[in-house]
Amino acid sequence: MIAAFRSQWVKLTRRSFAVGAIAPLVGFSVAITAVGILRVNETGEHIGPAGSLTLADLTAGGGWLAGMGAASAFLGLISLAIFASDIAGEFTTGTIRSVLVLEPHRLRVLAGKTACLAAFLAGGLMIAGLATGVAAFVVAGSESIDTSAWTTTDALSEGLSIYVNVLMSCVVWGVFGMALGMITRSSAIAIAAGAGYFLLGERLLLNSLWPSTEEWLPAGVLSALAEGGNPAIGYGTAIVLAAAYGLGAFLLAATAFARRDITA
Amino acid sequence: MSAVPAISVRGLTKSFGAVAAVADLSFDLAPATVTGFVGPNGSGKSTTIRMLLGLVAPTAGTASVLGHPISDPGAYLSRVGALVESPAFYPQLTGHRNLLALARLARLPPARVEEVLAVVGLAERARERYRDYSLGMKQRLGIAAALLQDPALLILDEPTNGLDPAGIVEIRGLLRTLSERGTSVFVSSHNLSEIQAICHSIVLIQRGRLLFSGSLDALLAGHGAVVLAAPEHAADIGALAALVEAAGYPSTARGDQLEIRAPESWGPELNRQAMRAGITLRRLGVRDASLEQTFLDLTDGTGGGEAP
């Protein structure tokens, strides 16, 4: 698994891929933070397609990173795309056969890839978080929002808590992407399916078929996890359900990988 | 020389739905030899190679590689190098970083990357991106990747595809050197003259089934030798053909001579019979057997198409 991790790291750290993957994380986090702060200052609350932000969130110790939590759904979709395109790309380029000739233990390959992608995501979100913090200070300062709590001793730990929650949420989104990429072997189809479900599919399920499943479906659970819990889903429940979804998606990917003939 | 075959295949079968890509295939590959793997397009060569490498699970039958069953590829793949179909690498990475990723996966030191790049003559171009490589350079990189583990068995699918004549000679020399050092080489190619030039033995398949497995000499002696006989007087060619047919050998008239599918050893007997029949032979000889012709004969003329 460590060998697979180190091998994958060579692939992920090429400049064009790293910039291409991290730039959207930074861009969405900073943009949603800036828009959120401006909207909150006007109306007291911002409810966007990716999450909500209130004045109370912003003036808390972790307020400098609250916008990142509000952007978690978009960050999750980007994570899904990164994982899905990495796995599906191995099949479309045929490199999966070179990989498996050198490391025939497929579970090790998958585990190493997953760990490496998660580590890459942790780094990307760290950069996004730092950029978001800088942007939050600048925009909040210009909007005369009280940021006194942002410089207290609790500010760092609260910010770190937001970062960890968003990271956990994004990793599970990523594992969903990996499972979709493994099953479809097409980046475009996997990303479209993932985005379609999380942006529309789950909402349709809740509004029409199973309105009582709000506390159980993946997108709601991952949003709750990224927010550190919400009125619908508590933090502990979100962690347990997200872990179960992540494990289930990983097992699905591992089963498909283990059983599949490599004809790419 | 070890008695364990480098590859041993028994009744290997792979079906994709109702289509049998490989059917009841059996052959052995002696260690430290260069063996050609030949068949028309779609004959099951790549599927067989993928089964040997643990990439595709057989539907039936068994096989072993370096003494280990293919159901346990982890037991032998660390001593196998392979180039399966066309080379496959990450387009945006340089040749060097592509090999580095593979070397890390195989737990090999980075210095090994430099070594194999030098072996295939890519050291000077290793820092260029793979997507900018020519077909020949991509092929060289694929061979370099196959050599990373200093393999005891090398499985190469069309290794000279895209190489210029100098590159082909280099790879031919490399395979010979590896074989002399004890490496077993299993090489598939559509370039039959190339196979004939470098291989000790051959496995020939068609529609997933074995047509021949054995030494190249045995294949050519059994199927390819042509005795050429030209009578002194062109008018005697019909009588000569009748004489050959009576002896049980097929012949074809080409201009003023007969091409006779008969072993070289029958040439003196033909000379005697022609003399008894009053036919003086102006020319009597043997054309070296060609693998191309033998291949076409065995595959009913369906071989020799473009590469898959």
Q: How far apart are CA B156 and CA B137, in angstroms?
A: 16
Chain B contact for A99 (CB, 8 A cutoff): yes
Mean pLDDT within B120-137: 88
Which tokens hold the place of A122? 């942790």
Q: How far apart are CA B152 and CA B254, in angstroms?
A: 48
Of B91, B92, B106, the CB nearest to A102: B106
Residue B300 pLDDT: 65
Residues within 8 A of B (CB atoms), A 128-167 only = none
Residue A249 pLDDT: 95
Chain B contact for A263 (CB, 8 A cutoff): yes
The CA dihedral of A189, A194, A196, A197, to the nearest 10 degrees, is 140
User: Is the model's pLDDT at A229 over the cut of 90?
Assistant: no
Chain A hits for B130, Cβ within 8 Å = none
Closest approach of B290 to chain A, Cα-based (Å): 33
DSSP category for residue A197: I
Residue of A69, A63, A68 lying closest to A147 (CA atoms) = A63
Chain B hits for A262, Cβ within 8 Å = 50, 55-56
Distances (CA, A) of B179 to B164, B169, B199: 22, 15, 10
Residue of B24, B78, B37 lying closest to B203 (CA atoms) = B37
Chain A hits for B53, Cβ within 8 Å = 97, 100-101
B90 close to B69: Cβ distance less than 8 angstroms: no
Give every CB contact of residue A249 below 8 A, 6+ residues apart in sequence.
A172, A175, A176, A178, A179
Q: Which residue type occupies B283?
A: R
Q: Choosing among B15, B53, B55, B70, which should be mutated to test the A contact, i.e. which has the most A CBs within 10 A?
A: B55
Q: How far apart are CA A260 and CA B57, in angstroms?
A: 9
Which tokens hold the place of B155? 């499985």
Distances (CA, A) of B114 to A102, B78, B111, B160: 18, 19, 5, 21
Residue A232 pLDDT: 82
What is the complex's ipTM, to 2 decimals?
0.84
Of the candidate ranges B57-61, B239-243, B288-292, the one whose mean pLDDT is the lowest: B288-292
User: Is the model's pLDDT at B173 over the cut of 90?
Assistant: no
Residue of B41, B57, B43, B121 lying closest to A262 (CA atoms) = B57
Nearest CA in chain A to B52: A101
Report residue A67: phi and psi, to 5°. Answer: -65, -30
Residue B271 pLDDT: 92
B142 close to B123: Cβ distance less than 8 angstroms: no
Question: In the sheet where B209-215 sits, what is the strand order?
Answer: B80-83, B153-157, B184-188, B34-38, B201-206, B209-215
| Pairwise pLDDT comparison (B120 vs A107), residue with the higher score | A107
DSSP category for residue B96: H
Report residue B70: phi and psi, to 5°. Answer: -70, -10
Chain A contact for B274 (CB, 8 A cutoff): no
User: Is the model's pLDDT at A154 over the cut of 80?
Assistant: yes
Q: How far apart are CA B90 and CA B167, in angstroms?
A: 23
Which tokens hold the place of A129? 């978080």
Closest approach of B107 to chain A, Cα-based (Å): 6
User: Is the model's pLDDT at B308 over the cut of 70?
Assistant: no
Mean pLDDT within A249-260: 94
Of the candidate ranges B10-19, B34-43, B289-298, the one whose mean pLDDT is the lowest: B289-298
Of B80, B92, B105, the CB nearest to A103: B105
| pLDDT tens-digit series, residues B143-158 | 999 999 989 999 998 8
Chain B hits for A101, Cβ within 8 Å = 53-55, 77, 80, 82, 84
B19 close to B40: Cβ distance less than 8 angstroms: no
Of B77, B88, B149, the CB nearest to A94: B88
Nearest CA in chain B to A8: B101
Angle of helix A235-259 relative to helix A153-184, nearest 10 degrees, comes to 30
Given an 8 Å threshold on Cβ–Cβ distance, is B55 in contact with A262?
Answer: yes
| pLDDT tens-digit series, residues B62-104 | 999 999 999 999 999 999 999 988 889 999 999 999 999 999 9
Query: Which of A198-207, B219-228, B232-241, B294-303: highest mean pLDDT?
Result: B232-241
Residue A48 pLDDT class (50, 70, 90 cuts): low
| pLDDT tens-digit series, residues A84-95 | 999 999 999 999
Mean pLDDT of the residues in chain A: 88
Residue of B189, B102, B29 lying closest to A101 (CA atoms) = B102
Mean pLDDT within B167-174: 82
Nearest CA in chain B to A94: B88
H-assigned helices in A144-211? 153-184, 187-196, 202-204
Residue B95 pLDDT: 94
Number of other CB atoms surrounding residue B19 within 10 Å: 9
H-assigned helices in B185-305? 192-198, 216-223, 237-246, 267-276, 291-298
Chain A contact for B66 (CB, 8 A cutoff): no
